[in-house]
A and B are shown apart, each in its own frame.
Chain A
Amino acid sequence: MDHAIAVDDLVVVRGKRTVLHNLNCTVPRGSVTGLLGPSGSGKTTLMRCVVGVQKIKSGTVTVLGQPAGSPALRRNVGYLTQAPSVYADLTVRENARYFASLYGIGHRQADQSIIDVGLREAADQLVSTLSGGQHARASLACALLSKPDLLVLDEPTVGQDPVLRNDLWQQFHALAAEGTTLLVSSHVMDEAGRCERLILIREGRVVADDTPAAVRAATGTDDLEEAFLRLVLAQQKHQKVVA
């Protein structure tokens, strides 16, 4: 299968701590892949490797057939950082139009992106006056507007109300249906079921890399939270045996 992202034997060390241990995983093109794991498991670090802003110790990350961070990829990869990264002293519209201008995209598409994330009414509000959820969506609008081939979204739905969250997930799937590949991180297991593929990580190691159905089948439970727990326990037992 053709992969949008292929991570091979990736090791990342931050300070004295090894954050990712010989990590391997792949993300198929045109899918919504969930990157799930508890806080501190290495999700953000892995995403930073994919967009090419993380120093890596060893291993390779190939994105759309090129080494992660290649200049040619900057036009084709959209990145939403976990903390909203938009200018607080600009309005939502000014932010969106500025980020659009970096890709040579016009005002109409920037404004559409604002509507897509449900900020039509707040478009002319300064970002500093927005609620936390709105602030995060302003940042999301700036990631979506360039219509990249690959979208790397670090916890895009955190703090959003359930109706909006549902709406955002529908948009993610609509984008995937048009051929966009999405890598979406979350630490909330109830979002795992919304993905076509799951990469479960814990302490910098992949616990599972499969479809939700396969994860459920392998662990014998319908509850993905429970499935994750069983996978972790099984892995720990395995590690003890090996040791």
Chain B
Amino acid sequence: MSARITLFTTARILRQLRHDPRTIGLLLVVPTLLLTLMRYVFDSQPAIFDRVGVIMLGVFPFIAMFLITSVAMLRERTTGTLERLLTTPMHKLDLLFGYGLAFALAAAAQAAVAAGLGYALLDLNTSGSAWAVAGLAIGNAVLGMAIGLLVSAFASSEFQAVQFMPAFVLPQMLLCGLIWPRDQMAGWLEKLSNVMPMTYAVDALIEVSRHADPTRTMWRDVAVVVGCIVVALLLGAATLRRRTA
């Protein structure tokens, strides 16, 4: 492991992003647009927008980073750059942390724009602080990145990688409490949602929206999310094989 190689890798990934202004535009504008849409869908029910809006602030970075990472990693595999990197002094974790850091920074920018607009222009109200919401949004981005990195190992084309989004992410969105409280679902669905990482990411955001100070439940949720990130990264590292058939 080398901090220097990790940072150079982060810089390289951000440079790749910089050469792709349209992707940057989409990353920053799409969540903002969708949040605005939500605001006016719930025009007559501001309380619902407060609840759903804050969850969306956490879910956007998860989805965006899941997609971007799985495609970026797939490209590393298919263009041979991954094989080349693994013949250099680079450690596998340098690559994973390099991606994690780069996309956490991108997610921070995304969260800043979307949350800034939400609080300033769309009358989003949370009991907890906007900083906590932004922090959780970044955590969700890193979770999305870690899971995206892992599932990219099971895709052999970009067509497949993109379809892992509905396969892995949509069920979590449906069950995480975003569209209906989990304790009112069929019992087996609630049990299923208990083992899905996004459930805890969203639960932490709900806690922040309801309570002025961090609650014990929120810290438990954060711990679960961090645990999921570590496990996904370790499993992801295991899929980066130096020797392949």
Contact = CB atoms under 8 A, between A and B. Distances in A.
Given A90-B19, A102-B8, A74 B89 contact: yes
A237 interface: no
Contacts of B80: 81, 83-85
A51 B86 CA distance: 10
A77 interface: yes
Category for how many chain B residues contact A: 20 to 34
10 contacts: A53-B244, A85-B79, A87-B12, A87-B81, A89-B19, A90-B12, A90-B19, A94-B15, A102-B85, A103-B88
Contact of A55 (B19, B84, B89, B243): B243
Given A90-B12, A102-B90, A52 B243 contact: yes
B24 to A, nearest CB: 12
Contacts of A86: 81
Nearest to B81: A85
B20 interface: yes
Given A55-B245, A101-B5, A90 B83 contact: no
Nearest to B79: A85
Contacts of B11: 98
A54 interface: yes
Contacts of A83: 79-80
Contacts of B15: 90, 94
Contacts of B12: 87, 90, 94, 98
Nearest to A72: B89
A10 B15 CA distance: 42
A14 B245 CA distance: 6
Contacts of A74: 87-89
Contacts of A162: none
B242 interface: yes
B184 interface: no
User: What 8 A-B pairs come out closest when comparing CB atoms?
Assistant: A85-B80, A101-B8, A102-B88, A98-B12, A85-B84, A81-B80, A89-B16, A79-B87
Interface string B212-244: 000000000000000000000000000000111
Contacts of B89: 74-75, 102-103
Interface of B: 4-5, 8-9, 11-12, 15-16, 19-20, 79-81, 83-90, 242-245
Most chain A CB atoms below 10 A, which of B16, B86, B87, B243: B87
Contacts of B244: 53-55
Nearest to A75: B89
A99 interface: yes
Nearest to A51: B87
A94 B88 CA distance: 17
A78 to B, nearest CB: 8
A90 to B, nearest CB: 6
B16 A53 contact: no
A89 B81 CA distance: 12
Given A75-B89, A102-B8, A103-B88, A87 B16 contact: yes
A146 B16 CA distance: 22
Interface in A96-146: 98-99, 101-104, 126, 142, 146
A173 B5 CA distance: 32
B15 to A, nearest CB: 6
A69 interface: yes
Contacts of A84: 80
A104 B8 CA distance: 10
Contacts of B81: 85-87
Nearest to B90: A102
A88 interface: yes
Contacts of A77: 87
Interface in A41-91: 51-55, 69, 74-75, 77, 79, 81, 83-90
B102 to A, nearest CB: 13
A51 B15 CA distance: 29
A69 B79 contact: no
Contact of B87 (A52, A55, A87): A52
Contacts of B19: 89-90, 126
Given A14-B245, A90-B19, A53 B86 contact: yes
